[in-house]
Structure 1
Amino acid sequence: MRRLIISFMCLTNILPLFSQVLIEGKVRDEQDKPLSDIHVMVSMLHSDNIVGFDITTNEGLFRIHLHCVGDSVRIKTSSINHEDFKNSIECKSQYLEIILKKSVKDLKEITVKAKHVVKKGDTLSYLVSPFAREQDRTIDEVIRRIPGIEVEPSGKILYEGTPISHLYVEGMDLMENRYSLLTANLPYDKVSAIEVITNHEPVKILQEYATSGKVALNLRLKNKTTLTGNAELAGGIPFFTH
C-alpha cells in the first residue's frame, strides 16, 4: 500500500509537466483593429522547436493547444505588415491580448515569411525547407517538427492528439495504413510541402455535406520529382526519382 501511495504521488507530480493547455487570445493593432492572417507560434523556451501554431481569424483570434513540458514557453508572431512580437509566458491555459506595431520590411523578408505557412480553408500547408535540418534524410524527420504533430515509435502520426486517417502523396493514397514505410524511406529533399488537412472526408460524394473531424496529411512533391515503378516493389514502397 505504501508503494502504491508513493507511486501515485510521483505520478501526480509528473502529470502537470505534460498536461495539455489552451493558449488563446486576440491580436490587434495600436488603433484597436483586429489583425487577421497573423502567424502565432509557440516554441520551447530554450530552442526553436515549434510546439504550437495558428493563424488569426478575421476577428484577430487564435487558439493553440499544446502539451506542456516545463514551466514556460515562448510565444511569437510573424506578420508581413507589422513588427514581430516575442515574449516568454507561463505554460498554462490563458487568454492573451497582443498589440502589434506597424512596420516596414524589405520585399525579400516579406516574401520569405509569407510563404512559410499558408492556410486555405481546412488546409495548412508547410514548406519543408524551413523545418528541415542539414542532417535529415527522410521526410519522417521533418514531419516530426510540424506544429501539433507527434510521431509514435511505431511510426503512427497524430495531429493534436488525433491519429491521422490518411497520408497522401499528391492526393494519392499509395500505402493506405502502412504509410510509416513511406515516410521512413522517402527522402525529404523530394518533398516541397506538407499539408495538414483537418475535417478530411475521403469519400468525395460526402465532402460537401459532412464534417468528419478526421485529419489527413498530403505530401507535395517538387516539380521534377516523379513516381516510378509500382507499389509491389521494394516491400511495397514506391520509387521517387527526379
Structure 2
Amino acid sequence: MRENGEESSAGPENSEGTGNSDAEVTYEQCGHTYISVPADLPTAAEEEVLTAIEEGSYETSNRLILPQAFDLEDLYLIQRDSRDKTYYTAETEEGGAINRLRVTETFPETGPVMLRNDTERDLTFDVRIEYAATVDHEVDIETDGEVFFEETVSVEAGQSTELIGDATYRYGNYLAAINIAELQLKETVSWVMWEEWDSQGVIRLTTEEELDHVSRAHSEIGLAPDCEWNENGDLVRGISSN
C-alpha cells in the first residue's frame, strides 16, 4: 500500500528510471509473500515494478526500492483483473553503475493433492487430472486445460496417498475425473489452488461412497493486512520480516 497521504503516480513511459524523491528513505521490510501490484507497493517502487512488468526490466542509477521493502526470494507480485491473476517473481542486478530489476511471469508451486479413502474397502482409483494455468473460477478446464496426472492408484481402507506425477503442482484450476470400478462410480471433482487458501486439499471418497474435494482453512496470507509505510519508511501496517 502507498505511504500515508500520497497519491499514486502515473505509469512509466520507458524502462530507464529517472529517480524518485524517496531515494534517501530506507524502507523497513514487509514479510508478506504475495503482493498486489500496485496496491501493496511503496509509491517509490511503483515505477520500478510496473515498468519491469510492461517491458521486462527496469534500470536506474539510483537504489532500487523493491528489494528494500520485500525479500525477493520469497516474493510473488500479483496483477489482478476482474476474474484472473498474473503472478511474477522478481530478481535484481545491483552494485554497478546501473541497477536493474527483472520480473518473470510464473505460477507459484504448491504441494500435491491427497486422495483419501474413507470407506471400509481397499479400492482402486483410475485418476485423470487436468490443469489450466489460471485462477479464473469460470474457466472450462476440459477445453483449456492439459493432462496433468493420469494413473491407477490403489488406496487401502481408511488411508490416504499423494497424487504425485511427473509435473509440479502450481496455482491454477484442476479437474479430476475418477473411476472406481468396484463401486461402478464415475465422477469429476474440481478445485482451484491459489494464495488465499492453503491450497492442496484432499479428494475424498466418503463413507457414503461419494467423491468431493475438501479445501483447507483460509490461510494467514489471505487474511494478512496490506503493507503500508510512513514517510520515513517505517512499516505501519502489515507483518514485518524483522
The TM tier, using the shorter chain, reads: 0.3 to 0.5
Higher relative contact order (CA 8 A, sep 6+): 2
Q: Which of these two proteins has the greater Rg computed from alpha carbons?
A: 2
TM-score by length of 2: 0.32
